[in-house]
């Protein structure tokens, strides 16, 4: 389908105004003088008046990115009028489709190089490439061009002023929203239209932000001294279509639900209202879409299920509910989802942008499963007491399970020191477990198990089958001097707590991979791998820690390993070399791949492919204890 246009001359700027559209699912001409439908992540964006029109202007000479639309969009065309005021040398301006995040999208590109260049480009996992190009196509400043990118299956087409210029084929990205990128250029955009080009009658989808899965460009397989960069496959959520039938006795909520509604499938209510009404054993089903909040969603301490009848909050079918708290101010009291009750289960949600923690747990026996929490202004998920009057460990949150949760890009704008992926710290009881979780790109630590002298020891925390990487800055590069950047920080203030860390991986964190952080106890570390962290892969300066089958390779500085090397089964990195008490030595040849790859699946599980997997011929394979156990972490 093609959007028909006519041209209207306004001053010295020519913008194309739509006169007829087919199956239009999104449009924006900025004549309401705001960009409410857009989220800018870098650059300086504003709506300005030019020649009687209002346009969306990126004025910074750094890269500017802004996005809109739905992560469920697949086959469509995106069209925009583009005028470049200043190329700032030789740079590009993009109209993007299937925009997942700033590191994953397709783009129709305008450049002033080589007499003017058109390109269809793709960026996947932070690595950009050109799929098709045409040079000697005059692109001049001060002239508006109508640019359209059509995406249909693996077919990509670029039109300029309604003339087909380029064809390409690629099938890596299958869905995503739209984006505008001014790569070091000052550029104006107007009359943005998205047209569904699938067969049949399209159904407009709500305007929501794409799922963010930060990634950076892969590098060649490194030697021991190399420091390659992590690659994470883009997360693209399946189209939000109902995959289940209404369940009797359940409560349904939707972005357009009302407190006064009954909470049936056809009359959905609000989440806040449903939380007050749901009975033990029942489920609150959340329909897909964006739920915008300016205040905390609270489960009070008097609102609990039981051991055999939990209260549940779950995504409906394969739909994706997104709880958006960007409207909250930066404030410790402004959390996203706050759970003080016991025996709740939360599954399948995305939580973003809160003024403090994305999720805060102060109750017991709760389960958080297959949740993504990101871009919050403190830790993505924290477990701590809910009131300072609770002075005994027996009153602190205990036996909570965090399973398959992805916490990333959390950033504390005050000093960068508090935003961890996961914080189980200060005042928690026993039995809290993290399993199959990912912490990445948080400005402070991946995991923080800090204890403090005022309140004493915390309960033992178990972390297993989990990954922590690239902490110390966000995927967009936000960081501060106070950003620690440890993968797993396992203590604080010289207080002994015997935490347990099993079959987990830390790589390319700003500081240490695994650190005792002054915890002088007996932390149990079994079958963990730590690779290419900025300082020590393992930093345990004091204590009687118990090390079994751990693998360290290519750290920034020597490991410190105070404690017991169980049966000489640990391979350390010291004095810039691999060492082991019984002569085992690790090298790059022991790994199938040292090119990072972390793929998170729709069910919250993840796979690493061949990354950090031992080769069949490695002498580390089967050399651990019990006999036949590998050294290091093992994932499917």
Q: How many CA atoms lie within 13 A of 409 on its CB side?
A: 19
Q: Is 560 a catalytic residue?
A: no
Radius of gyration of the chain (CA): 26
3-state SS class at 395: helix
Alpha-carbon distance 290 to 409, whole Å? 19
- Give the integer Cα–Cα distance in Å for 298 and 272: 7
Q: Report the length, in residues, of the chain.
A: 636
SS3 call for 588: helix
- DSSP E strands: which ranges in 438-537? 438-440, 447-448, 461-464, 467-469, 488-489, 500-502, 505-507, 514-515, 524-526, 529-531
Give whole-number Cα distances, 531 to 74, 103, 219, 586, 608, in Å: 37, 24, 15, 11, 14
Strands 321-324 and 350-352: parallel
C-alpha 264/C-alpha 287 separation (Å) is 12
Residue-wise burial string across 20-46, b where 16 or more C-beta atoms lie within 10 A, e elsewhere: ebebbbbebbbeeeebebbbbbbbebe
Whole-angstrom distance, CA of residue 384 vs CA of residue 361: 6
Distance of CA 463 to the CA centre of its chain: 20
101 vs 177: CA distance, rounded Å: 9
Distance CA 460, CA 449 (A): 9
- From the candidates 123, 347, 489, 510, which is the catalytic residue? 489
- Residue 436 DSSP label: S
Q: Cα separation of 477 and 550, whole Å?
A: 31
Q: Return the active site residues.
A: 489
């Amino acid at each position: 389908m093609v959007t028909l246009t006519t041209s209207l001359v306004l001053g010295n700027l020519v913008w194309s105004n739509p006169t007829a559209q087919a199956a239009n699912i999104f449009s924006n001409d900025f004549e309401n003088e705001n960009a409410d439908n857009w989220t800018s992540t870098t650059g300086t964006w504003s709506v300005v008046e030019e020649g009687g029109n209002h346009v969306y202007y990126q004025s910074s000479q750094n890269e500017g990115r802004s996005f809109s639309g739905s992560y469920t969009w697949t086959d469509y065309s995106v069209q925009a009028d583009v005028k470049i005021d200043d190329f700032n040398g030789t740079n590009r301006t993009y109209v993007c489709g299937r925009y997942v995040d700033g590191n994953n999208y397709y783009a129709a590109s305008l450049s002033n190089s080589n007499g003017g260049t058109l390109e269809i480009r793709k960026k996947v996992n932070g690595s950009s490439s050109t799929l098709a190009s045409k040079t000697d196509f005059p692109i001049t400043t001060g002239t508006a061009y109508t640019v359209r990118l059509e995406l249909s299956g693996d077919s990509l087409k670029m039109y300029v002023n309604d003339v087909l210029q380029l064809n390409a084929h690629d099938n890596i990205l299958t869905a995503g929203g739209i984006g505008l990128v001014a790569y070091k250029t000052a550029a104006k955009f107007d009359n943005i239209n998205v047209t569904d080009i699938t067969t049949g009658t399209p159904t407009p989808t709500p305007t929501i932000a794409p799922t963010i899965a930060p990634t950076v460009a892969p590098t060649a397989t490194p030697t021991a001294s190399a420091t390659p960069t992590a690659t994470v496959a883009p997360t693209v959520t399946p189209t939000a279509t109902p995959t289940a039938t209404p369940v009797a006795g359940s409560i349904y909520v939707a972005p357009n639900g009302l407190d006064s509604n009954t909470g049936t499938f056809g009359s959905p209510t609000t989440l806040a209202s449903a939380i007050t009404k749901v009975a033990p054993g029942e489920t609150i089903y959340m329909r897909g879409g964006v739920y915008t909040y300016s205040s905390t969603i609270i489960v009070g301490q008097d609102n609990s299920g039981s051991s055999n009848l939990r209260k549940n909050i779950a995504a409906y079918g394969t739909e994706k509910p997104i709880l958006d708290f960007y409207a909250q101010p930066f404030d410790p009291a402004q959390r996203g989802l706050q759970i003080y009750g016991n025996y709740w289960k939360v599954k399948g949600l995305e939580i973003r942008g809160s003024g403090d923690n994305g999720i805060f747990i102060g109750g017991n026996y709760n389960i958080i499963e297959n949740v993504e929490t990101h871009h919050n202004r403190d830790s993505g998920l924290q477990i701590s007491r809910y009131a300072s009057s609770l002075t005994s460990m027996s009153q602190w949150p205990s036996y909570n399970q965090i399973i398959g949760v992805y916490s990333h890009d959390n950033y504390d704008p005050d000093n960068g020191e508090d935003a961890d992926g996961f914080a189980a710290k200060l005042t928690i009881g026993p039995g809290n477990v993290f399993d199959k979780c990912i912490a990445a790109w948080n400005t402070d630590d991946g995991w923080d198990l800090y204890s403090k002298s005022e309140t004493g020891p915390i309960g033992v925390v178990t972390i297993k089958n989990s990954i922590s990487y690239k902490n110390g800055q966000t995927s967009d590069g936000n960081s501060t001097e106070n950003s620690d950047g440890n993968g797993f920080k396992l203590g604080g203030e010289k207080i002994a707590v015997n935490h347990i860390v099993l079959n987990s991986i830390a790589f390319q964190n700003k500081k240490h991979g695994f650190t005792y952080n002054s915890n002088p106890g007996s932390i149990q570390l079994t079958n963990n791998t730590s690779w290419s962290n900025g300082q020590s892969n393992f930093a345990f300066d004091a204590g009687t820690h118990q090390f079994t089958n751990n693998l360290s390779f290519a750290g920034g500085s020597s490991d410190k390993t105070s404690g017991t090397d169980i049966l000489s089964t640990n391979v350390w990195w010291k004095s810039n070399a691999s060492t082991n008490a019984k002569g085992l030595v690790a090298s790059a040849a022991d790994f199938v791949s040292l090119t990072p790859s972390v793929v998170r699946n729709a069910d919250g599980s993840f796979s690493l492919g061949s990354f950090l997997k031992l080769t069949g011929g490695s002498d580390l394979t089967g050399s651990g204890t019990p006999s036949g156990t590998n050294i290091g972490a093992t994932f499917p």
